[in-house]
């Protein structure tokens, strides 16, 4: 099986288009189920965040799998397949592994090195595991990607920087409206991003209030930051006592506009929702609006920093090691098939010996059989060990294919061993 990634992200399209592809956990599970029901996709994971929607798949055929994935995304966005193809990036096998690890490490994010993506990747994997769309190939890929992301966060300077979309948004707002210290901040939403926004504001010395459609969630978040909870149906009253509004709901039915903020003391808005919660017309009130469009437009990949260079080097080493192990695992079926063929040859020759020497005693026959097997094992030992060692080199020739050709191994025998005994990745 091969790994395919189809990515629509801030690198390939606008935030507005990403809004059309954004989806929650239920929708991602349904899309993954739709993919594995197609002709060429065996496993699928769907990752949807505020700056990307990506399909990860284990496919039997590249072009067929790509067509299935692109058609599914096009239907979701209400676009033609041709239009969707212009908005996406495609990664295959080695490139797919490298992309997955880079995403989990935060190296492909709007804010390079942000750590929230690690939790989002973990959640995407869990949701699709529950939906039954994850097998050995993608489970192996994502479990290793999560380990790589954790290493980047804990072992490199990128992790100690505490980067996130929230901190980037607050920094941008601070250049226009000053720090959050002593300000009244209202956080609308209660998910991971809202939680980070509330904690960051509280740490900066702000007075934090939390509003959410489910009051108990708002109460839980408010309690964790020493703030107060507000029912969402009392939002207008809460806005009358707010300096900075932060929204992270992603609810398609929620739009806060200039009319709702007119006459309030709100001077700054941070909107990290996708689709956006706050309309652009709040600018007419002199309010500073920091949203995903501004963050994407002002992003700085910081590719020259030593922290990013260190993180990218770690990811490259992890990709190389993962691919080496994967190549070694793919050689194993050929080795097993070769040894199985050798055992059949030994069995055939022993049968012939029995027919030619019917008076040969059982003891002598056993000794001859052990001797022949030892000879075969010794002859095969070094070549099979070496082919597994050499297969980990990405620049090496396909030694497994050479073995199959030299010994005329039946492809169906190798495939049977692979499906029954050895995972594909």
pLDDT of residue 423 exceeding 50:
no
Q: SS3 for 284?
A: helix
Same domain, 13 and 155: yes
Gap between the Cα atoms of 101 and 144, Å rounded: 8
pLDDT of residue 149 exceeding 80:
yes
In this structure, are residues 93 and 3 in contact, taking their beta carbons and an 8 Å threshold? Answer: yes
Same domain, 85 and 109: yes
pLDDT of residue 290 exceeding 90:
yes
In a domain, 27, yes or no: yes
In a domain, 220, yes or no: yes
pLDDT tens per residue across span 316-336: 999 988 988 777 776 777 778
**Is 388 within any annotated ligand binding site?**
no
pLDDT of residue 304 exceeding 70:
no
Same domain, 155 and 35: yes
pLDDT at res. 341 = 83
Same domain, 23 and 152: yes
pLDDT of residue 421 exceeding 80:
no
**Is 349 within any annotated ligand binding site?**
no
The residue annotated as part of the active site, out of 50, 88, 128, 248, is 50
> Does 50 qualify as catalytic in the annotation?
yes
Give me the domain span that covers residue 141. 2-162
- Give percent of the chain with pLDDT exceeding 70: 92
Rounded mean pLDDT, 163-167: 88
Query: CA angle, corner 209, sides to 203 and 213, nearest 5?
Result: 130
pLDDT of residue 248 exceeding 50:
yes
Alpha helices in 234-291 (DSSP H): 235-239, 258-261
pLDDT at res. 1 = 67
In a domain, 417, yes or no: yes
Same domain, 136 and 16: yes
pLDDT at res. 417 = 55
**Is 260 within any annotated ligand binding site?**
no
Same domain, 13 and 139: yes
pLDDT of residue 392 exceeding 70:
no
Q: SS3 for 421?
A: helix
Number of residues written out for the chain:
425
**Is 139 within any annotated ligand binding site?**
no
In a domain, 308, yes or no: no
Same domain, 289 and 195: yes
- Give percent of the chain with pLDDT exceeding 90: 59
Please report, for the domain that includes residue 51, its CATH number. Answer: 3.30.460.30
**Is 115 within any annotated ligand binding site?**
yes
Gap between the Cα atoms of 204 and 221, Å rounded: 17
Strands of the sheet with 89-92, listed across from one edge: 41-49, 52-59, 2-9, 89-92
**pLDDT range class, residue 339, cuts 50, 70, 90:** confident
pLDDT of residue 374 exceeding 60:
yes
**Is 189 within any annotated ligand binding site?**
yes
Q: Pairing relation of β-strands 207-212 and 184-188?
A: parallel
The contacts of residue 343 (CB under 8 Å, 6+ apart) are: none
**pLDDT range class, residue 161, cuts 50, 70, 90:** low
What domain count does the chain have?
Answer: 3
pLDDT of residue 418 exceeding 70:
no
Same domain, 198 and 265: yes
Gap between the Cα atoms of 345 and 75, Å rounded: 55
pLDDT at res. 201 = 97
User: Poorest-confidence range of 177-181, 193-197, 421-425?
Assistant: 421-425
**pLDDT range class, residue 400, cuts 50, 70, 90:** confident
Report phi then psi at 41, rounded to 5.
Answer: -110, 125
pLDDT at res. 422 = 39
Same domain, 188 and 284: yes
pLDDT of residue 387 exceeding 80:
no
pLDDT of residue 104 exceeding 80:
yes
**Is 191 within any annotated ligand binding site?**
yes
Gap between the Cα atoms of 57 and 47, Å rounded: 11
**Is 50 within any annotated ligand binding site?**
yes
Residue 234 CB coordination number (10 Å) = 11
Write down the mean pLDDT value for the chain: 88
DSSP character for 274?
A: S
Same domain, 158 and 169: no
Residue where a domain terminates, one of 239, 262, 297:
297
Same domain, 45 and 132: yes
Rounded mean pLDDT, 228-242: 95
pLDDT of residue 239 exceeding 70:
yes
């Amino acid at each position: 099986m091969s790994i395919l990634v189809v990515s629509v992200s801030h690198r390939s399209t606008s935030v507005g288009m990403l809004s059309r592809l954004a989806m929650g956990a239920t929708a991602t599970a349904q899309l993954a189920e739709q993919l594995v029901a197609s002709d060429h996709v065996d496993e699928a994971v769907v990752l949807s965040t505020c700056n990307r929607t990506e399909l990860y798949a284990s496919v039997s055929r590249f072009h067929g799998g790509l067509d299935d994935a692109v058609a599914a995304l096009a239907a979701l966005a209400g676009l033609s397949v041709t239009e969707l193809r212009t908005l996406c990036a495609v990664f295959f096998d080695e490139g797919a592994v490298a992309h997955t690890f880079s995403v989990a490490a935060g190296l492909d994010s709007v804010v390079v090195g942000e750590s929230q993506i690690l939790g989002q990747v973990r959640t995407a994997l869990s949701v699709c595991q529950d939906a039954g769309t994850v097998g050995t190939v993608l489970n192996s890929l994502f479990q290793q990607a999560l380990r790589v992301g954790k290493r980047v966060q804990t072992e490199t300077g990128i992790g100690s920087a505490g980067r996130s979309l929230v901190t980037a948004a607050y920094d941008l707002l601070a250049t226009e409206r000053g720090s959050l210290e002593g300000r009244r901040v209202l956080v609308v939403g209660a998910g991971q991003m809202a939680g980070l926004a509330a904690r960051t504001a509280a740490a900066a010395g702000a007075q934090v209030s939390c509003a959410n459609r489910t009051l108990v969630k708002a109460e839980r978040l408010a309690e964790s930051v020493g703030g107060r909870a507000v029912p969402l149906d009392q939002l207008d009253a809460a806005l009358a006592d707010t300096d900075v509004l932060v929204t992270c709901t992603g609810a398609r039915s929620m739009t806060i506009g200039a009319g709702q903020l007119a006459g309030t003391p709100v001077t700054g808005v941070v909107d990290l929702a996708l689709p956006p919660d706050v309309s652009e017309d709040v600018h007419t009130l002199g309010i500073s609006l920091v949203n995903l469009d501004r963050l994407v437009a002002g992003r700085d990949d910081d590719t020259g920093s030593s922290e990013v260079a260190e993180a990218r080097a770690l990811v490259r080493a992890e990709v190389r090691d993962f691919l080496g192990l994967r190549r070694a695992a793919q050689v194993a079926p050929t080795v097993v098939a070769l040894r199985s063929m050798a055992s059949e040859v030994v069995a055939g020759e022993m049968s012939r010996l029995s027919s030619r020497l019917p008076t040969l005693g059982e003891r002598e026959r056993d000794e001859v059989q052990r001797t022949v097997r030892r000879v075969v094992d010794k002859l095969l030992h070094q070549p099979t060990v070496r082919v597994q060692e050499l297969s980990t080199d990405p620049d090496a020739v396909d030694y497994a294919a050479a073995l199959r050709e030299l010994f005329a191994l039946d492809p169906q025998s190798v495939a049977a061993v692979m499906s029954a005994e050895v995972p594909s990745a």
